[in-house]
């Protein structure tokens, strides 16, 4: 079947580094591989979880009959959609939008507290560039196998998604840049492609922010072998800007599908972790994360998230686990004092 050129309405943020125009050539010959770039037609709108993040970071309502460009991939989100890459895809097949960044796959399960029903889309074809089916993973950069000498890394991790990791990161960045006038870079090293968290860190004051998408990886769910070298490449890139500190968010939970455990188990990376922040929803999660990191010869330096929203959690964390905690949304004084005491920062 002959290729054809069509005009599309929206380009998903997962393709922010590919620079497609609003007219693309598509082929009905499908490779059905993770990372393939698809053009799909929207079959139905949704009010809940019904927006698409564009390449400029803006959010746009996904409307019926629009043609959008996304990337074939999987997702496993406790507070979202679980979706797979079907073995064989042909034009006319119905798939779903799996996340705001434009990852497309077949939804098999979803959390109805967050998603009414995943938006269905009809596959029109795969994008062709230079007579070849476009796959975002063809753009994966040469990855570093080791870290250079790096600025102190403040690691923000959590027991799950939606426990306050990005909120903690942006409050920390704001405090360090605005109160202490430090040059702070930031990174998100695991998760699925979307720019929302990255842009929030930039807005909070980070001088430079990078994610796995910036080295050509659309998601870390099926790329565990690349998680560690991708992370080291990103940290090395940020180090070139000579920041005083690098704030690192590990998307998803420390137990999950996105490769966080791979990073925590890497000796070189774990040795470079200067200060570890754990976001937890409750005391069971806090104690479980404490035990898990202890089994990896790592320690938690500070607790945040819902578990630290009042003294019911803080008293247990500080008196039983002997780890300081604070709700960083309203005050960062205690946190900055702990950073100073640990020798991560210096200020008068």
The H or E element spanning position 103 is strand 103-110
Model confidence pLDDT, tens digit, residues 69-95: 999 999 999 999 999 999 999 999 999
Compute the CA torsion angle 123, 48, 280, 201 (nearest 10 deg).
70
* pLDDT-derived band at 223, boundaries 50, 70, 90: confident
Residue with tokens 């360090």: 176
Whether the predicted pLDDT of 272 surpasses 90: yes
What's the CATH number of domain 153-341, 3.90.550.10, 3.40.50.11310, 3.40.50.300, 3.30.300.130?
A: 3.40.50.300
Written as one string, the DSSP assignment of 136-173 is GGGGPPPPPSS--S-PPEEEEEESSSSSSHHHHHHHHH
- Output the pLDDT for position 226: 94
Q: Which residues contact 148 (CB under 8 A, 6 or more apart)?
A: 236, 239
> Does the pLDDT of residue 99 top 80, yes or no?
yes
DSSP of 290-311: HHHHHHTT----EEESGGGSSH
What's the CA gap between 186 and 155, in Å, rounded? 10
Three-state SS for 80-97 is: CEEEECCCCCCCCCEEEE
Predicted local confidence at residue 328, as pLDDT: 98
What residues are paired with 264 via a beta bridge? none
Cα separation, 122 vs 35, whole angstroms: 17
**Residue tagged 């290729």 (tokens):** 3
State mean pLDDT over 152-168.
97
DSSP assignment letter at 1: -
Per-residue confidence (pLDDT) for residue 346, from 0 to 100 = 87
pLDDT of residue 198: 96
| φ, ψ of residue 186 in degrees (nearest 5) | -145, 160
**Helix 165-174 × helix 196-204 angle, to 10°:** 20
Reading the block at residue 149, the tokens are 């000498």
Q: What is this structure's pTM?
A: 0.94
Tell me the pLDDT band of 144, cut-offs 50, 70 and 90: very high
CA distance 267 to 303: 23
* Domain ranges for the chain: 4-137, 153-341
- The mean predicted confidence, pLDDT, of the chain is 96
């Amino acid at each position: 079947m002959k290729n054809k050129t069509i005009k599309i309405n929206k380009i998903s943020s997962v393709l922010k580094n590919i620079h497609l125009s609003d007219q693309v050539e598509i082929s009905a010959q499908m490779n059905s591989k993770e990372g393939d770039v698809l053009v799909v037609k929207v079959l139905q709108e949704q009010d809940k979880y019904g927006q698409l993040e564009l390449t400029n970071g803006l959010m746009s309502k996904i409307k019926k009959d629009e043609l959008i460009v996304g990337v074939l991939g999987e997702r496993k989100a406790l507070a979202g959609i679980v979706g797979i890459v079907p073995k064989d895809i042909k034009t006319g097949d119905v798939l779903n939008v799996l996340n705001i960044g434009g990852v497309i796959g077949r939804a098999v399960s979803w959390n109805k507290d967050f998603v009414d029903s995943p938006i269905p889309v009809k596959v029109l074809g795969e994008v062709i560039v230079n007579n070849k089916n476009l796959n975002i993973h063809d753009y994966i950069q040469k990855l570093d196998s080791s870290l250079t000498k790096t600025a102190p890394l403040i690691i923000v991790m959590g027991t799950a998604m939606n426990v306050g990791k990005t909120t903690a990161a942006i409050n920390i960045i704001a405090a360090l840049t605005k109160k202490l006038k430090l040059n702070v870079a930031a990174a998100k090293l695991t998760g699925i492609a979307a720019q929302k968290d990255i842009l929030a860190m930039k807005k909070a004051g980070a001088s430079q922010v990078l994610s796995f998408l910036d080295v050509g990886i659309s998601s870390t769910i099926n790329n565990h072998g690349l998680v560690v070298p991708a992370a080291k490449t990103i940290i090395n890139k940020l180090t070139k800007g000579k920041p005083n500190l690098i704030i690192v968010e590990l998307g998803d939970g420390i137990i999950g599908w996105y490769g966080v455990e791979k990073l925590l188990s890497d000796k070189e990376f774990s040795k470079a972790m200067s200060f570890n922040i754990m976001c937890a929803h409750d005391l069971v999660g806090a104690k479980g994360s404490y035990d898990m990191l202890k089994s990896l010869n790592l320690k938690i330096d500070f607790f945040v998230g819902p578990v630290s929203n009042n003294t019911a959690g803080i008293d247990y964390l500080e008196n039983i686990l002997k780890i300081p905690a604070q709700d960083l949304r309203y005050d960062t004084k205690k946190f900055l004092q702990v950073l100073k005491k640990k020798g991560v920062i210096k200020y008068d």
